[in-house]
Amino acid sequence: MKNVRLLFLAAAMLTLAACYPPTTSHPIGSTVGLKIDPAVLGVWRAPDPDNHRTIYYHLLSAKDGTIFAVLVPDQGQASDVSMLKLKAASFGNFGFLNVRLMMDAEHETPDQPAGSVPILYRLQPNGTLKIFGLDEDAAKKAINTHKIAGTTGEGGDGDAVITADAAALDKFFRSPAGLALFDKLFATLTKVK
């Protein structure tokens, strides 16, 4: 697979070449209703310290009930712009975003695995938005110890795919054990006024 990088509401990039981030077969939150969380819409910014720049996150309401995200750095190349489709489920001050890479507003990137990359977000009292990724080793451990259904691929470098049905997936990721798997803070976003 060609080296593609996934950005989501964070300056952190997840490399797809060696190992794709953990995915889920079903979007998290599908049993409670996937819908746009108006609190996350708008323009946000976060530092990208690795590249000495700022990333602007344009989160827009899409016609199909998803969020279309356009991530634009304040400097760099046109190829640094990323587009994502987000299926959201909100649970008060936190929620999940189920991420798919996009080529444009209507077409997904063809060389990505099925399913979606789950992201946890938390709205903070100070108005910032914290974005957390699923810890791959913790996800594999949860799969291997049968806390959640899934596969871990061949050997230690296999991709983690959580295959639990929608009800089991939502129940697990709303539990303390499921939420604890999201321990990788990608970024803290500040809304642009």
pLDDT of residue 156: 56
pLDDT of residue 140: 94
- Tell me the CA end-to-end span of the chain in Å, nearest whole number: 39
pLDDT of residue 34: 93
| Dihedral over alpha carbons 165, 169, 170, 175 (to 10 degrees) | 150
Return the SS3 of 172. Answer: helix
- Indicate if the pLDDT at residue 7 is higher than 50: no
**Proportion of the chain above pLDDT 90, given as a percent:** 68
Q: What is the pLDDT of residues 141-163, one digit of tens each?
A: 999 999 999 999 765 557 899 99
CA dist 78 and 76 (Å) reads 7
42 touches 60 (CB < 8 A): no
Strands of the sheet with 161-162, listed across from one edge: 23-24, 161-162, 150-151
Q: What is the pLDDT of residues 61-118, one digit of tens each?
A: 998 999 999 999 999 888 889 999 999 998 877 999 999 999 988 889 998 888 999 9
pLDDT of residue 139: 95
Could you count the other beta carbons within 10 Å of the beta carbon of residue 172? 19
pLDDT of residue 10: 31
Residue 39, Cβ density class (10 Å: 0-12 exposed, 13-18 middle, ≥19 buried): middle
Report the predicted TM-score, pTM, of the whole model to 2 decimal places.
0.86
Question: How many C-alpha atoms does 188 have within 13 Å on its Cβ side?
Answer: 5
